[in-house]
Amino acid sequence: MSDFRRAIEAVPRESGFRGIGPRGMFFFYAAVRPFGPKQILESGRMRGESTLMLARCFPQARIVSVEFDLDSTHA
């Protein structure tokens, strides 16, 4: 857990954030970390906070983030 906290401690928290939060990201991190992913595909990047958390938690991985909502104010 301390590795996870260090990885995400500098990730800014935007007001009104509606994407995956630290608890959801920790679940993902704990489930996926043992496999040492080389690539991660993320769908629905919203404001990019989870993308930044993924990059910090899995620095060795190539991360592809796709936003399908062309009308999103954050895309």
* Mean pLDDT value across residues 46-72: 85
Instruction: Please determine, for residue 3, whether its predicted confidence score (pLDDT) is greater than 80.
Output: yes
Q: What is the mean pLDDT of the chain?
A: 82
Query: What is residue 2's predicted lDDT score, i.e. its pLDDT?
Result: 86
Query: What is residue 49's predicted lDDT score, i.e. its pLDDT?
Result: 80
Smallest CA-to-CA distance from 54 within 66, 71, 41 is with 41
Q: What is the pLDDT of residues 11-43, one digit of tens each?
A: 776 645 566 778 888 999 999 999 999 999 998
Smallest CA-to-CA distance from 72 within 51, 50, 48 is with 48
Query: What is residue 15's predicted lDDT score, i.e. its pLDDT?
Result: 47
